Amino acid sequence: MSAKLRNNQDMKKLLLNCDMGESLGPWVMGLDDEVMPYVDCANIACGFHASDPSTMRRTVQLAVQHGVQIGAHPAYPDLVGFGRRSMACSPQEVEDLVLYQLGALDAICRAEGSRVAYLKPHGALYNDMLRQPELLRAVMAACAAYDRQLPLMLLARRDNAEVQAIAAEYGLTLWLEAFADRSYTPEGLLTPRSQPGAVLHEPEQILAQALTLARGEPLRASDGSALQLPVDTLCVHGDNPQSVAVVRQIRQSLDSLSQP
């Protein structure tokens, strides 16, 4: 097993995760080949918001090559909107579409001698299920029906008691996630992309936020209040050369923090 498969219980060895496999046919999205060597977990698109079977298989092969854990990254069926638009799906529909995408990616993983290791919903589905408990239950029901051993990656908030209680009902493990390049509301939700300052662009800001989270220190929320987030994994993005350089810096810095 690769040394990059890190113990997520050790906060000094924060798992780095990245959305990958989001190309579609001839349209290339992201720099997966360049960022894969620096992350621990690859959230691979399953065809509903991005990707296609061949892209999924190439991305799985790349993850296996680098010893990176593979996560299913299911979404609403919204290729045009890249899965960032909420859809009027019933809880049953959400359960079914998550199960469908999870099974598709895991079939490809099996063909490449691997398995899906966790589940992380994408985009609007990720955000909606934090505001609508019935959708959260639907996602958890799909995960539990497929494999209760699969951790579910969810946004770390100021208060995580409710989602932890629901996960316990389904017998699921949660990996609480924070973002290196997003600002936060006082509750610990991501600032909507439509608002100014929602996305951090300066490499220095992104690196500083990553290290703050890795040290277990509070962030500064959008209203100026201190925001303490319990974090198992940190989401980074590698969709341009500048962001890949930042991921490399974060990897080096986290490795330095983990040294005795």
What are the tens digits of pLDDT across the range 212-244? 999 999 999 989 999 999 999 999 988 878 889
pLDDT band at 8 (very low <50, low <70, confident <90, very high): very low
pLDDT recorded at residue 45? 98
Residue from 246, 258, 257 nearest 35 by CA: 246
Strand pairing of 174-179 and 233-236?
A: parallel
C-beta separation of 154 from 166 below 8 A: no
pTM over 0.85: yes
pLDDT single digits (tens) 99-126: 999 999 999 999 999 999 999 999 999 9
C-beta separation of 53 from 61 below 8 A: no
Q: According to DSSP H, which parts of 66-132 are helical?
A: 91-111, 123-131
CA separation for the pair 188, 191 (Å, rounded) = 9
CA separation for the pair 106, 123 (Å, rounded) = 21
Q: How many CB atoms lie within 10 A of CB 234?
A: 24
Mean pLDDT of 149-178: 97
pLDDT single digits (tens) 19-58: 999 999 999 999 999 999 999 999 999 999 999 999 999 9
**In the block, residue with structure tokens 């539990």:** 144
CA separation for the pair 221, 241 (Å, rounded) = 28
What is the rounded radius of gyration, in angstroms, for the C-alpha atoms of the chain?
A: 17
Name the CATH superfamily, with its identifier, for domain 11-257: Glycoside hydrolase/deacetylase (3.20.20.370)
Most distant pair of Cα atoms in the chain: their distance? 50
pLDDT, greater one: 199 or 9: 199
CB proximity list for 151: less than 8 A, separation 6 or greater? 117, 118, 119, 172, 173, 174, 175
Listed in order, strand segments (DSSP E) in the chain are 15-20, 41-45, 69-73, 118-119, 152-155, 174-179, 219-220, 226-227, 233-236
Instruction: Break the chain into its structural domains and give their ranges.
Output: 11-257
Tokens of 40: 């621990």
C-beta separation of 140 from 166 below 8 A: yes
pLDDT recorded at residue 39? 97
Q: Give me the phi and psi of 69, to 5 degrees please.
A: -65, 145
